[in-house]
Amino acid sequence: MTKKQISGGIVLSFFSQIITIIIGLVYTPYMIRILGQNEYGLYQLVLSVVNYLNLMNFGFNGAYIRFFYIAKSSGDQKRVANINGMFLNIFMIISLLCIFAGVLLYFNIGILGSKLTSSDYVTAKKLLTMLVFNVALSFPNSLFMAYMAANEDFIFQKALGIVVNILIPLLTLPLLFMGFGSVGVVSVTLFLTAFRLAVNMFYCFARLKMRIDIRFFDKAIFASLVGYTFFIFLSDIVDQLNSNVDKFLLGRITGTIAVAVYSVGYDLKNYYSVVSWIVPEMYIPEVNRLSIEEKDDKKLTELFTRIGRFNNYLVLLVLTGYILIGRQFISLWVGEEYDTAYFAGLILMISAYIPTVQTLGVNIQNAKNMHKVRSVVYFITACVNVICSIFLIKLWGVIGTCIGTALATIAGCGLFMNYYYHKYIKLDIFYFWGRMIKWFPAAIILFIAGRLVLTRTEINSWLSLFVFALIYACVYALAVYVFGLEKCEKQLLIDNIRQRLFKNAKGA
């Protein structure tokens, strides 16, 4: 059952990300053109401010799986129901606090800066109201999603994500063409969040037989929970600072146009980063088992490296491909006026390389309850990022804030984190990077070959761009199979393909 859920979840995750990327490529240009740079920038600016309300989960959503496993290992289902009830009560209280914070933001909308017009502020208040309720609904929803993940039930969650991703443009585009603007976009977001919460609740109660005792509240468990989640909360602050502060600062210092340009580059970097979570998130329960029950650092290193190698192949394909044809892609996608977004995306992607390869490491730290130092160091580097970005924006605008984020990411997620993994988490980082570096020469040769082809080929249409990208990806995949995979991995891949083909032929 578990292997089926993991393999099915991985397949659906890939399918979901492909759909998300395709929808983004098709939907985003229409959205930008209909809204215009100013309103699109305003939408992104308000979104960046409201996203800070996600910090009000205080790290509780990241702690659920660990406490679920502790309760489940006792063999007492009542303890699991008690944990579920405690977390639900916490999330409902947080939702109410979120709405209260939203009211405060509503009456202090001037925080968005002096670059906005009076009509911009009217629209901003409408967007703010709906987005606050959207965040408030997301808190209880996170419990049901975490419960599915803790039970290693990935297929339904991923399938529902695919449905929601498809519904976004289907519901939003008609409203945009009817003239509802960014308010229409946000209303669809709110509706789909409520829809997802209702469906997740039904599935957990009906299919997974989830039990919740809302009467339970243990002060000792809560104190332990707070002690554990505080540093996850610090880590969440860092994520929010690194992902949203740039838009906020650009909006205040430069204006909504710069926010729109930055957002295009940042969204592309997000596609690049999200792909790296597809496989690791399926192994979060296994990480908790190895850390809590078996306490086997060697197995954790092997799992960390195996997932890292997979991500290494994937992110280097995306990164080298973006360097080769990213500028042409952006020109065709949203127009030449967004040319700066190419360099913004490139800086952010390069700086995110190490954390995207090591995504599973965050879960290993959380499972071992050794995430505290990381959170403190990340918080310090994020604060430095904010200070540097303020000065760099005044010098180089969009590119300046990207450089500030890159420096903070490389220092915190790169240099410090690898030292911490090796010294304290007891993961063999030299072994890890030894396995990663083996692929570098092949990736560089493929990149150079692609560059040489581009000197004789002009990418000036979607067809030429698609053909080049397809050929490059196919050659890259062939090189991974021939030079990257080990003999046992090749055999496993062949066996899986044969098994699926035989199964399909038998079914036919």
**Residue pLDDT, tens place only, 173-188:** 888 888 888 899 899 9
* Separation CA 236–CA 390 (nearest Å): 21
Domain boundary, last residue among 399, 433, 467: 433
Q: How confident is the model at residue 499 (pLDDT cuts 50, 70, 90)?
A: low
What Cα–Cα distance (Å) separates residue 23 from each residue in 17, 26, 163, 337, 381? 10, 5, 12, 22, 34
Give the model's pLDDT for residue 467: 94
Which residue did the predictor score with more confidence, 134 or 274? 134
**Is residue 334 a part of any domain in this protein?**
yes
CA-CA-CA-CA dihedral for 165, 167, 168, 169, to nearest 10: 110
Task: State phi, psi for 388 to the nearest 5 degrees.
Answer: -65, -40
Tell me, yes or no, whether 310 and 355 share the same domain: yes
Integer-rounded Cα Rg, in Å, for the chain is 23
**Mean per-residue pLDDT, 478-500:** 73
Q: Is the residue at 223 inside a domain?
A: no
Q: Predicted confidence band at 321 (pLDDT cuts at 50, 70, 90)?
A: very high
Give the chain's end-to-end CA distance (angstroms, integer): 25
- Residue 5, pLDDT > 60, answer no
Whether residue 363 is found in the same domain as residue 414: yes
Query: Does residue 446 share a domain with residue 425?
Result: no
Range of the domain at 388: 231-433
Q: Quote the tokens at residue 399.
A: 């590119």
Tell me which of 433, 467, 482 is where a domain ends. 433
Supply the pLDDT for residue 317.
94
For the packed helices 297-333 and 256-275, what is the interaxial angle rounded to 10 degrees? 140
Burial classification of residue 268, based on how many CB atoms lie within 10 Å of its CB (0-12 exposed, 13-18 middle, 19 or more buried): buried
Residue 24 — very low, low, confident or very high, per pLDDT cuts 50/70/90?
confident
Question: Mean pLDDT, to the nearest integer, of 121-133?
Answer: 91
Give the span between the Cα atoms of 285 and 308, in whole angstroms: 17
Residue 135 in tokens: 């965040």
Could you tell me if residue 370 is inside a domain?
Answer: yes
- 460 and 361 both lie in a single domain: no
Here the tokens at position 78 are: 């009542």
**Hey, what amino acid is at 98?**
C
467 belongs to a structural domain: yes
Q: What would the mean pLDDT of 124-144 be, rounded to a whole number? A: 90
Name the residue with higher pLDDT: 501 or 324.
324
| Residue 486 confidence class, pLDDT cut points 50, 70, 90 | confident
Burial class for 177, CB neighbours closer than 10 Å (0-12, 13-18, 19+)? exposed
pLDDT tens digits for range 395-443: 888 899 889 888 888 888 888 889 998 888 888 999 999 999 999 999 9
> Are 204 and 248 members of one domain?
no
Say if residue 183 is in the same domain as residue 322.
Answer: no
Are 252 and 26 in contact, with CB atoms under 8 Å apart? Answer: no
Distance from C-alpha of 248 to C-alpha of 255, rounded to nearest angstrom: 9
Let me know whether 420 and 477 are in one domain: no
Q: Is the pLDDT reported for residue 16 higher than 80?
A: no
- 68 is a domain residue: yes
User: What is the reported pTM?
Assistant: 0.70
The mean per-residue pLDDT over the stretch 290-307 comes to: 79
Reply yes or no on whether the pLDDT at 505 is more than 50.
no
Last-in-domain residue among 217, 246, 279: 217
pLDDT tier at 231 (50, 70, 90 boundaries)?
low
Confirm whether 224 is domain-assigned.
no
pLDDT in the model for residue 508: 43
Paired tokens of 19: 């759909």
Calculate mean pLDDT across residues 358-362. Answer: 84
- HEC string for 102-154: HHHHHCCHHHHCCCCCHHHHHHHHHHHHHHHHHHHHHHHHHHHHHHHHHCCCC
Tokens of 10: 């991985």
What pLDDT shows up at residue 360? 85
**Comparing 226 with 142, which gets the higher pLDDT?**
142
Q: Which amino acid is at 196?
A: R
Asked if pLDDT for residue 59 goes beyond 70, the answer is no
Q: What is the pLDDT of residue 294?
A: 64
Q: Domain check: are 426 and 452 in the same one?
A: no
* Domain-embedded: residue 493: yes
Within this chain, do residues 67 and 190 fall inside the same structural domain, yes or no?
yes
pLDDT at site 316? 93
In this structure, is residue 61 part of a structural domain?
yes
**In whole angstroms, what is the distance from residue 424 CA to residue 111 CA?**
41
Torsion of CA 299, 303, 304, 305, to 10 degrees: 100
Whole-angstrom distance, CA of residue 468 vs CA of residue 451 = 11
Amino acid at 205: F
What angle (nearest 5°) sits at the alpha carbon of residue 475, between those of residues 463 and 325? Answer: 45
Looking at residues 242-271, what average pLDDT do you find? 81
In the predicted model, is pLDDT for residue 383 greater than 60?
yes
Greater confidence, 320 or 142? 320
32 confidence band (pLDDT: 50, 70, 90): confident
What is the reported pLDDT for 496?
Answer: 59
Q: Indicate if 210 and 244 belong to the same structural domain.
A: no
Label residues 293-323 b or e (16+ Cβ within 10 Å = b).
eeeebeebbbbbbebbbbbbbbbbbbbbbbb
**Separation CA 387–CA 474 (nearest Å):** 43
Count of domains observed in the chain = 3
Highest-confidence range of 199-203, 224-228, 242-246, by mean pLDDT?
A: 199-203
Least confident of 107-116, 385-394, 483-492: 483-492
Average pLDDT, the chain: 82
Residues 344 and 451 in one domain: no
Tell me the mean pLDDT in the region 73-81.
Answer: 74
380 and 330 in a single domain? The answer is: yes
Determine the Cα–Cα distance for residues 506 and 495; give it in Å rounded to an integer: 16
